[in-house]
Amino acid sequence: MLGGTRLGEADRLVTLYTQRRGKVRAVVRGALRPRSRLGGHIQPLSHCQLMLTESKGLDVVTGCQIIGPLFPMREDLVHHARGFYLMELIDCFCPEGLENPALFSLLVDTLEHLCLGEGGERVLRRFEVRLLDITGFRPELHCCLGCQQALEPVTNYLSPSAGGLLCRACAPEQSPVHSVSVNTVKVLRLLREADMETVNRLNLAPDLAAELEAALRSYIQYVLERSIKSGVWLERLRREFGPNGALGGPQNGR
């Protein structure tokens, strides 16, 4: 479930992301009643198999089977924030009713790895890169979009308006741009093709991780023409609780 709002006294209107129909809005009858079985099952960050029936232009959820709760550790605030960040990205990038099995698989795979405590922020960066590719906003990472020449292994510039990287000579002609180091470009290229095992083995220095996040965040915000609210929440939680985010527990940095 990507989100939901109250509908009348007892019902709830929810936004779902599905394998076969993409983003769908549906009504959960009686979801706000204390003994509602459906209301208890259809929660954010859970993987469910649903039965939907069309009624008055909106689908109605008539059945639900839990496939797997993706974030069982309620005290892990940073993991929850990461999950909600992914949900918001999906909601912003995807129109209703557009099937995208590749994106659905990417979302489920990413959430499952985050639930296991694997990859952390590296997994989010992989998701962002793959999301841009799958939804048609793939940035050019090998040639300068200004002069069309192969990029030299020096500091270059990511231009959201141009749709990828620019060399030093062409960057001043574009605005805004985000400077990216040689290592950041290498990681961006790697994340485009890497599997989860490779991502889990990446060891990114704090400065490199921060530059990578800032570059992708600026690109995504330009594409969406808005900021990601859950991204701001995630940054605040990381400052307060550290990268692990478990209240009262050790921070192992995973």
- Each domain of the chain, given as residue ranges in start order, spans 3-69, 77-241
18: enclosing H helix or E strand: strand 11-18
Kindly give the confidence (pLDDT) of every residue in the chain, 254 residues in length, as a single tens digit, with 9 standing for 90 and above: 788 888 888 899 999 999 999 999 999 988 888 888 787 777 777 788 889 887 777 899 988 888 866 555 455 778 888 888 999 999 999 999 899 999 999 999 998 888 877 778 999 999 999 999 999 999 999 999 999 999 999 999 999 999 999 999 999 877 788 999 999 999 999 999 999 999 989 999 999 999 999 999 999 999 999 999 888 888 888 887 765 544 333 333 33
Residues 6 or more apart in contact with residue 25 via CB below 8 angstroms: 13, 14, 15, 16, 58, 59, 96
Strand partners, 16: 24
CATH number for the region 3-69 comes to 2.40.50.140
Instruction: Identify residue 232 by its one-letter amino acid code.
Output: V
161: enclosing H helix or E strand: none
With beta carbons less than 8 A apart as the criterion, state whether 159 and 79 touch.
no
Give the distance from CA 123 to its chain's centroid. Answer: 9
Q: CATH 1.10.1530.10: does it fit domain 77-241? A: no
DSSP class of residue 247 equals T
